[in-house]
């Protein structure tokens, strides 16, 4: 049905991930999209760009259409390069104006017939198009607010580490101060004692010159317990007599 509908405008039809992908001629894009809209694909859900630097026409524009009546999605693909504009479909879907601006901002693709083709995501005066494969990850300039000039200024990119910038010293550059809890990581101060190794400890295994071990204190007689005369007298009684005084309990 789609082949008969699109005719010579269709370059290739593929089934990818449960969806139909139509690769059509750039010059017949508006006619193709109008035919699909009239066949039930009323909603333009999304537009996206893809950069293929090795291809003669490096940019691929993908249109995602949805049919509520058919409960089905379809994708339309066209290709172009930077000098050749793609026909705008704002006459069919006014929302395409914003989507085409996004593709233009990110990839630099031109859309012929768009009434307001200007950047939509990047800042004024931005250089380049960020989604291109040849765009540097650090960008070309760095934008920041200057307290001195009280305005936004552009400067050459100067990063302390690749792809990062800090308002303070980055932790891996090192600092002269010690944060709380890092005292053990500080180098040993001059003159501080150095712990001895196990084989450097004197006297280990050598009894000569070592102090005598203290003699443990023992109590040989009841009066040496320090519990008092009464306790000493009770302790001196025979065991059977002491048991009789306690009611027979040992």
* Alpha-carbon distance values, 239 to 73, 108, 228, 234 (Å): 104, 110, 19, 10
- Boundaries of every domain in the chain: 2-122, 136-169
Pick the CATH number of 2-122 from 3.90.75.20, 3.40.50.1000, 3.30.460.80, 2.60.34.10: 3.30.460.80
pLDDT of res. 194 = 62
For residue 162, the tally of other CB atoms under 10 A from its CB is: 7
Give kind and range of the element (H or E) at residue 153.
Answer: strand 151-156
What gap in Å lies between CA 188 and CA 45, rounded to an integer? 66
pLDDT of res. 142 = 80
* Alpha-carbon distance values, 163 to 50, 130, 138, 157 (Å): 23, 14, 6, 10
Give kind and range of the element (H or E) at residue 65.
Answer: strand 59-67
Q: Nearest-CA neighbor of 57 among 32, 29, 83?
A: 83
Q: Nearest-CA neighbor of 106 among 49, 44, 46, 47?
A: 49
What gap in Å lies between CA 13 and CA 24, rounded to an integer? 9
DSSP code per residue over 192-223? PPPPPPGGG-TTTT--TTPPPPPPPP---SGG
Per-residue pLDDT tens listing for the chain (250 residues): 777 778 888 888 888 888 899 999 999 999 999 999 999 999 999 999 999 999 999 999 999 999 999 899 999 999 999 899 999 999 999 999 999 999 999 999 999 999 999 999 988 778 899 999 988 887 888 878 889 889 988 888 776 555 555 555 555 555 565 666 666 666 666 655 666 665 665 555 555 666 666 776 666 666 666 666 777 777 777 766 655 555 555 5
Q: Are 56 and 7 within 8 A, CB to CB?
A: no
pLDDT of res. 104 = 97
For residue 101, the tally of other CB atoms under 10 A from its CB is: 19
Q: What is the b/e burial string over 194-214, where b = at least 16 CB atoms within 10 angstroms of the residue's CB? A: eeeeeeeeeeeeeeeeeeeee
For residue 63, the tally of other CB atoms under 10 A from its CB is: 25
pTM of the model: 0.60
């Amino acid at each position: 049905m789609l082949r008969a509908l699109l005719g010579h405008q269709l370059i290739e039809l593929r089934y990818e991930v449960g969806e139909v992908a139509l690769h059509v001629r750039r010059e017949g894009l508006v006619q193709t999209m109008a035919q699909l809209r009239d066949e039930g694909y009323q909603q333009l859900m999304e537009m996206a760009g893809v950069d293929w630097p090795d291809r003669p026409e490096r940019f691929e524009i993908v249109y995602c259409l949805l049919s509520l009546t058919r409960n089905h999605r379809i994708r339309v693909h066209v290709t172009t390069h930077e000098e050749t504009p793609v026909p705008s479909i704002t006459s069919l879907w006014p929302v395409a104006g914003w989507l085409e601006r996004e593709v233009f901002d990110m990839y630099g693709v031109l859309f012929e017939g768009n009434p307001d083709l200007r950047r939509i995501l990047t800042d004024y005066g931005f250089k380049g198009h960020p989604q291109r494969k040849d765009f540097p990850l650090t960008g070309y300039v760095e934008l920041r607010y200057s307290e001195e000039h009280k305005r936004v200024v552009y400067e050459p990119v100067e990063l302390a580490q690749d792809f990062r910038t800090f308002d303070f010293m980055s932790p891996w550059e090192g600092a002269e101060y010690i944060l709380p809890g890092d005292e053990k990581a500080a180098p040993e101060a001059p003159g501080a004692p150095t712990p001895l190794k196990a084989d450097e400890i004197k006297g280990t295994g050598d009894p000569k010159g070592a102090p005598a071990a203290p003699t443990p204190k023992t109590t040989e007689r009841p009066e040496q317990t320090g519990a008092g005369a009464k306790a000493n007298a009770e302790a001196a009684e025979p065991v059977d007599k002491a048991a009789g005084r306690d009611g027979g309990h040992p």
